[in-house]
Each structure stands twice: as C-alpha cells, then as structure tokens.
C-alpha cells in the first residue's frame, strides 16, 4: 500500500469524515456483506446472486458474485475476504468464441498461485452469448453480439467489477490487471488499444485477433480433409 493511501486511511479513521474525504464505508462483515450485493442498484447491471463460499482445499473463503450486464453479458466475480484482499483486481480472458463464463487468470496461469489465494479480486465473462468455443452461429445477423464479443464485453465487465469491488470493500482498487492467451490475448490487445485506462498492466499472450484469416484457414483445412459433406456434396462450392 502506498504512502498516499496510508495517509488517506488515517485521515478517515481519525476524523470520521468519510463523506468529506471521499472514503466509503464497506458493507459489513462476511456473509451479510456478500449477500447484500444481490440486487445492488447499478445502471445496466443486474446481480443475480452473491454468495459467501467457505474455504475448500486450497481455495480460501470468498464472495462469489454472478450477474448480467445489459441483457446478455454474463460474468462471475470472486472477491477475497476483506482482510485478505490485496487491493488489486485481475481479469482473465477467454478462449475461442468463448460462449461460457471463462477466466484464464484462474485456469492458465496457476504456476504463481491462483488469484484468490494471492488476494486478488478476479472476474471472467462469457462475452455476451452462450455457445461453443469454435461455433459462431450466435453472431449471425446480430451486430450487438459481434461487438460484445469483439471488445465491448470485456470493457463493460471491467467497469461492472470495479463498481462492485468499491461497494464491497468500501474503496476502489489500487491496481488493475488483465491476462489472456489466444483469444484472451486478442482481448488484451483490444483493451490496450480501445480502453487503455481500464488496466494498469496487460499480458497479451499468443494474441488471436486476425479472425478473417483464421476462419479462412479453418475453411481451407476443412475442405482439404473432408471435401464432401455427409450427403456427398462438396463442402465448398465454386459459387461460394
């Protein structure tokens, strides 16, 4: 914690002027503070559930928050106990076309310790649709879903997570980070270019972002390996 933050906290404690100093009171203790997040009135954000989960194995006790941004962007936010939070926020990317709530910070980068064990608040999103990782029928004739998957969902999830974090802990994050690989790396690239103020640090591993080339390559490989479909007709016709 920096000297500046120490000073702000001391002023708040000594003078008990939370409103004047800009400090906010946290909700309370353990399960009540967590459950109180359900239904929290935030614009374009609905928290469907917030539950305190007890410690299990190596996973410490934490608050699990699930919700929807706008109408389709689902997310899951995990919040360490207030006395275990390190003041930092870490978002993990997703793979392929995503389609389920994914958090690569929890699944790909465990060699240094998973986020909760190290005191990070962490979040993941389905990027605004439900589907398979390599199936994209959800995007057909739906520009909103295309944009959500392309860049909006990560940004909106970041904003939502930071708002919930501030409500739960009574203050904003000290630092925020994003980590992702493959499609998650592409999400990292999008964040760094479109929303550079969202994160203090970004890891873009093996970024996948040239999707026009990817899908063309997929089609060429499909045609080479399986030139005819189930009915015997060519998978790709000359007119297409």
Q: Given this model, what pLDDT does residue 178 score?
A: 98
Confidence of residue 7 (pLDDT cuts 50, 70, 90): very low
Q: What tens digit of pLDDT does each residue of 93-120 get?
A: 999 999 999 999 998 866 556 999 999 9
Taking residues 162-180, report their average pLDDT.
98
Domains of the chain, residue spans: 28-225
Confidence of residue 9 (pLDDT cuts 50, 70, 90): very low
Is the CATH code 3.30.70 the one for domain 28-225?
Answer: no
Nearest to 128 by CA among 106, 97, 163: 97
CA distances from 91 to 4, 78, 235 (A): 25, 10, 39
Q: What tens digit of pLDDT does each residue of 124-148 get?
A: 999 999 999 888 999 999 999 999 9
Q: Say yes or no to pLDDT of 11 above 60.
A: no
């Amino acid at each position: 914690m920096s000297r500046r933050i120490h000073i702000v906290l001391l002023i708040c404690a000594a003078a008990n002027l939370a409103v004047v100093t800009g400090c906010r009171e946290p909700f309370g203790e353990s399960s009540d503070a967590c459950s109180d997040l359900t239904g929290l009135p935030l614009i374009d954000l609905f928290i469907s559930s917030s539950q305190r989960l007890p410690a299990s194995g190596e996973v410490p006790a934490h608050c699990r928050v699930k919700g929807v941004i706008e109408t389709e962007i689902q997310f899951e936010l995990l919040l360490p106990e207030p006395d275990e939070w390190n003041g930092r926020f870490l978002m993990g990317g997703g793979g392929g076309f995503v389609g389920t709530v994914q958090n690569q910070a929890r699944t790909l980068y465990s060699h240094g310790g998973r986020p909760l064990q190290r005191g990070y608040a962490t979040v993941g999103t389905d990027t605004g649709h439900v589907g398979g990782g390599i199936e994209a029928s959800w995007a057909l004739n739906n520009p909103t879903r295309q944009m959500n998957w392309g860049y909006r969902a990560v940004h909106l999830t970041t904003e939502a997570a930071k708002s919930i974090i501030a409500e739960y802990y009574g203050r904003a994050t000290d630092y925020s980070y994003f980590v992702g690989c493959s499609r998650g790396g592409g999400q990292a690239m999008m964040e760094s270019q479109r929303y550079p103020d969202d994160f203090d640090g970004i890891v873009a591993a093996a970024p996948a972002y040239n999707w026009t080339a990817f899908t063309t390559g997929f089609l060429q490989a499909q045609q080479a390996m399986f030139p005819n479909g189930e009915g015997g007709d060519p998978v790709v016709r000359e007119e297409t």
